[in-house]
Amino acid sequence: MNLLWGISSDNTRSKYGRRKPYLLFGGIIGGIEMITYAFAPDYLWCIFLDVIIIGIASNAYYVSERTLIPDNVDPEYRGRANGIKNAIGFIGLLIGVGAFLIAYELFTVQKGDGIIITKEGYIFVLSIGGGAFIVGAFIGFIFIHEKPPSELPPKKKIIVELKEIFDLEEFRKQNEFYRITLALTIFRSGIAAIMPFLFIYIFSLGLTTFELLTVTMISFPILIVVTIFLGKLADKYGRKKYIPASIIIVCIGLFLIIFVKVGKEVNLLLLYIIFPFVLVGLLGLLTPMDAWAQDLLPEERRGKFLGILNNHIYSIANNRSINCRYYCYNLRTDMDIYRSYCLFLNFDSIISKSQRNTINRRKLKIFLLIFFISDFS
């Protein structure tokens, strides 16, 4: 659906704009269904609401939302624009973490050796998330201004757009875009492997609510400042320059975090120092990477190519994260951190050796070979 929504938005010529109708539709439907999800009576309903309804609606929302910066911001300011956008998003994430901690305190019950959140807790958290989704859609629809239809190129049929994806000459023209897609796929594979278990690992340390809040209040301000700073660096010195060194630093943090708890002792000072680096690696480095990918999107077909990018990233990244989760369940949580660490190092080597800031054409065979080896591994 990412691809179809992207193509549809590229070829929409309504008086409200070409992206905003999808932003509004996806936000309203997705937000309502998020709230409805909390009342799902069984597992099958959860699958129907999440995978089908929320999946379709949220894809419409995100494809339109992610094209707004490249559509409206000049390349020399995109790093800063992405930095500000992501920083505001992290504030929203911080609110979400706060809501989860409140639910953890107010809506949990003991079950066996563990603690679970009750249905009331899920209603509380998902109502906040769904409501925010709806509000964001209305704000975007009202305040964002797009080009009038008279300034846009002629529409294309969806079947024509789909055929162009498999055209070899078109593939050659966009080879830089597909290389950045490869790099982002590996990068997000690391994120997908870490995120499901990172907070489980933090909670397994047995910290008090005050200690958890302290970790959060130290880490997120650092993350926000670094994210904005990376956006400025990306505009001033190029998208690539500081990414490899930043990833090496983050990998050190990912390696050290498993030593926060040795035996039964938790080293809080080490956690306070390392956790911001981990969050910067997982979330902050997306700022220059997103700006870089946006620079390579073909003008007037940004929705379509963002759909290709999203489809590839999330399908492969999710498959790799499932593999990591399988090994993690059968071994130990710490091993998941190690595997994600290796994925980040793979990304670092590819981006250092294969990517450039300027659009230079390479031999298609070399790219396909790198792509196959990476996916196979």
pLDDT in tens, 83-117: 888 888 888 878 887 888 788 888 888 877 777 88
Q: Which residue has the higher pLDDT, 190 or 238?
A: 238
Q: Is residue 364 part of a domain?
A: no
Question: How many percent of the chain have pLDDT more than 90?
Answer: 6
- Region 311-330: what's the mean pLDDT? 58
pLDDT digits (tens, 9 = 90+) for 294-304: 888 887 788 88
**Alpha-carbon separation of residue 248 from 180, 252, 290, 302 (angstroms):** 19, 6, 19, 31
Examine residue 365 and state whether it is found in any structural domain, yes or no.
no
Question: 285 by DSSP, 3-state: which?
Answer: coil
pLDDT in tens, 191-218: 776 766 676 777 778 888 788 888 888 9
Backbone angles phi and psi of 335, in degrees to 5: -65, -30
Residue 201 pLDDT: 74
Domain assignment of residue 52, given as a range:
2-149+157-356
Tell me the sheet residues that pair with 108. 117
How many distinct structural domains can be found in the chain?
A: 1
Identify whether 244 is part of a domain.
yes
Let me know if residue 188 belongs to a domain: yes
Does residue 352 lie in a domain region? yes
**pLDDT reading at 69 higher than 80:** yes
CA dist 97 → 106, 150, 199, 213 (Å): 14, 44, 10, 9
Read off the pLDDT of each residue in 183-195 and give the average, rounded to a whole number.
73
Cβ atoms of 134 and 242 closer than 8 Å: no
Q: Is the pLDDT of residue 326 over 70?
A: no
Average pLDDT score, the chain? 77
Which helix H or strand E contains 108, and what residues bound it?
Answer: strand 108-111
Task: Output the pLDDT for position 59.
Answer: 86
How many Cβ atoms are within 10 Å of 54's Cβ, its own excluded? 22
Asked if the structure places residue 136 within a domain, the reply is yes
Specify the pLDDT at position 356.
Answer: 45
Q: Give the confidence band of 359 by pLDDT, cuts at 50, 70, 90.
A: very low
User: Could you tell me if residue 60 is inside a domain?
Assistant: yes
User: Per mean pLDDT, which range of 80-89, 231-240, 315-324, 327-336 is the poorest?
Assistant: 327-336
**How confident is the model over 9-28, as a mean pLDDT?**
88
pTM, full prediction? 0.75
Structure tokens at 300: 């007037």
Q: Is the pLDDT of residue 373 over 50?
A: no
Asked whether residue 367 carries a pLDDT value surpassing 50, the answer given is no
Supply the pLDDT for residue 179: 80
CATH code of the domain containing 273? 1.20.1250.20
245-276 pLDDT per residue, tens? 777 777 777 778 778 887 778 888 888 888 88
Burial class from Cβ neighbours inside 10 Å (0-12, 13-18, 19+) for residue 330 reads: exposed
Residue 110 lies in a domain: yes
Using the predicted structure, report yes or no on whether residue 163 has a pLDDT greater than 70. yes
